[in-house]
Structure 1
């Protein structure tokens, strides 16, 4: 059979553009130079005051990275009149600053969660209780967590992480207080969320130290792990729909949404309980970085007008 677009194999060719179901894709767009990318934006109504600077910034970011930041400046495929490249760049710059602030805010929470999970699990259930599915509600979910832990342990051993090497060489395994140091935050969150309250009081003890009930802490850790990964991968936080939402306290329920402001409320509540002396200066820092980009609207993140007082 000749080389044409008839193909009886289940693998589609790029030339034919067919997928395995037999349908056809739209031909791939040709690549555009940075200059052509800027020209395209201009034809769609964007004002570019400094073309050389705009080209430099495009080359340092990526058209599709910036693309997410002009969603609020666009209507029906065209820019709202008077939208400038600087408007988009300031939105991007605010998002970068917010991600750094959030990343730093989550760091001590992650460390505390690891420490408390290791302490209460070990003290109540034993040094290897995290490997015993009897303490967890779903054996299947626990198995997935253990698969993740094995990968993380193997990586730590390859990298020569001292606590992993020492414990494996001496005991043949990692006690929970060492395991939490090489687990991802996702694994810690999954293990905590899967704890069976009928088999131990670990979940309640940890949640109590955060000042909330276990179902709230499960939600918060899962949400903050999601947010942490967004920040860690330099993904857009501004004007993002949160697919992993946090359960808010009853007193905060009026601010519930699938956007960013609930994340800041969760951080406030955790700091109020754990490090109340740190929060005022952190909030000052947040206000300063928002003020430095005052032309960027906070509405897409569902920040209320009185956000400073709400978070104060």
Structure 2
């Protein structure tokens, strides 16, 4: 299939945006942003400024049969009145700083939970991560119909790659002095958040519960989905992707609001469960155990209060899934 769009230089890109109604007050500065950040990355931020169509039904082909698909609102090429290039840049900078704050919290959470999982499993066996019997059968015995191997086998393959490519001196020392395999309290130091969350999801329920309870979550299976969602959040931030109004694909399960009162605004609201404010709250909740004296909650609150003034475009923190009374909700 021939790609229909032609290459455009930065000046032509800016002219196209202006033709579509985006206000540019400083052409030189706008061109500088296009050169340094890129049209496509910035387009994720001015996408929210584009006009929308009325709800409609479209015919799309699924196999050989056309099927009606309802589309609520389609983004049009033209921008809403009073949309400016600087609005998009301000939103981009806000989002960048938000991602850096999130990574700060997730680093502490990842390190703390790696230590907890390694300590819990290490009590059972120094090489527990190699022992299928120490994990539930759906993880360690049942074969994936697509791959033909267990999830545990796939995890071990990833673990071996992490060990193999590690340049850490402590890995070299342990391999030279004691050989392989490495005990779990050493091996866990090379796990990334994905390896951590996957192994936790495969643990026996009693072992999951023992760790989750420390974080105020009685159900370890629910806590496993929290870790998976935080790993998703970490990947979004680490790859410099747009976060502020992103639809969260890997959503966490939620315990009852009776167990955790602050969950009440999210339990029955699909939009709020699909936005990042919920994951910020989960990170805050976990961090309160990991590092109760951390200034992170206050720093995040201050940053959210500095959200760009985009009220003329109908945009605010509700696009992130924040409740109307978000400050009160954040402090719970």
Q: TM-score range by the shorter chain?
A: 0.7 to 0.9
Return closer, same or farther for 1:64/1:31 CA change in 2, 3 Å cut-off.
same
Q: What is the distance in 1 between the residues matched to 2:81 and 2:2? A: 31
Q: What is the distance in 1 between the residues matched to 2:279 and 2:302? A: 18
More displaced stretch, 50-59 vs 131-140:
131-140
In the alignment, which residue of structure 1 is the partner of 2:157? 147
Q: What is the distance in 2 between the residues matched to 1:154 and 1:206? A: 29
Aligned structure 1 segments of 4 or more residues deviating by more than 4 angstroms = none
Show structure 1 runs of 5+ residues with no match.
Answer: 1-24
For the pair 1:38 / 2:14, whether they are aligned, the reply is yes
Instruction: Please report how far the alpha carbon of residue 208 of structure 1 lies from its aligned counterpart in structure 2 after TM superposition.
Output: 2.3
- 3-state DSSP of counterpart to 2:114: helix
- 3-state DSSP of counterpart to 1:240: coil
For the pair 1:289 / 2:303, whether they are aligned, the reply is yes
Which of the numbers 251, 262, 285 marks the counterpart of 2:278?
Answer: 262
Aligned residues: 279
Alpha-carbon deviations, 1:152-202, whole Å to 9, x = none? 01101xx2x1221122222222110111111111011101101133xxx42
Q: What is the distance in 2 between the residues matched to 1:86 and 1:186? A: 36
In the alignment, which residue of structure 2 is the partner of 1:196? 204
Instruction: Please report how far the alpha carbon of residue 28 of structure 1 lies from its aligned counterpart in structure 2 after TM superposition.
Output: 4.6
- 3-state DSSP of counterpart to 1:78: strand
Q: What is the distance in 2 between the residues matched to 1:130 and 1:300? A: 41
In the alignment, which residue of structure 2 is the partner of 1:114? 114
In the alignment, which residue of structure 1 is the partner of 2:213? 208
Q: TM-score, normalised by structure 2?
A: 0.80
Alpha-carbon deviations, 1:98-152, whole Å to 9, x = none? 10111111111111110001101001x2111101122223220001110100110
Contact 1:110 1:185 in 2 (8 A): yes
In the alignment, which residue of structure 2 is the partner of 1:63? 39
In the alignment, which residue of structure 2 is the partner of 1:19? none
Show structure 2 runs of 5+ residues with no match.
Answer: 52-75, 141-149, 258-262, 267-271, 311-315
Please tell me the root mean square deviation across aligned C-alpha atoms, in Å. 1.5
